[in-house]
Amino acid sequence: MVEIIAGKKGKGKTKELLAKVKGDLANANGSLVYIDKSQKHMFELDSKVRLINMADYPIESTDEFTGFLSGVISQNSDIEEIFLDSFLTVAFIDTNNGLCSAMEKLDVISEKFGVKFVLSISQDEADLPDVVKARIVVSL
């Protein structure tokens, strides 16, 4: 399953994502992972949530990023949810076609390994493709 928090930059997507992490952690049976472009939110996350700073890794494309996600999941079969802040940036996505392709890959990974993805996307809901709009749980 893939859920999306969408909205223009500065609308509060990260705040919503962090609140979702906190709420989901209370009911989680497995591990939670938070992936971001920096360590900026390290102190806002519970110590039980693994923070991955993508700036620490030499990832340069969407394919490399999805491979990286598969590697993270392969190292811990207990991962229940992965939260992806600034998804378009960390996944190197700059077109709607690229976004649709990445969503298809996330669907495959989610289905195969039983991992839920929650993404924040810095675009207005109206500018997103229909296949992406259907996954929006919060629009700011």
33-42's contacts with Cβ under 8 Å and 24+ in sequence apart are 33/72, 33/79, 33/81, 33/82, 33/83, 34/82, 34/83, 34/85, 35/82, 35/83, 35/84, 35/85, 35/90, 36/85, 36/86, 36/90, 37/85, 37/86, 37/89, 37/90, 41/14, 41/85
Domain around 127? 2-139
CATH code of the domain in which 61 resides: 3.40.50.300
pLDDT digit string (tens) for the chain, length 140 residues: 999 999 999 899 999 999 999 999 988 888 999 999 888 777 778 888 999 999 999 999 999 999 999 999 998 889 999 999 999 999 999 999 999 999 999 999 999 999 999 999 999 999 999 989 999 999 98
Q: How many domains does the chain have?
A: 1
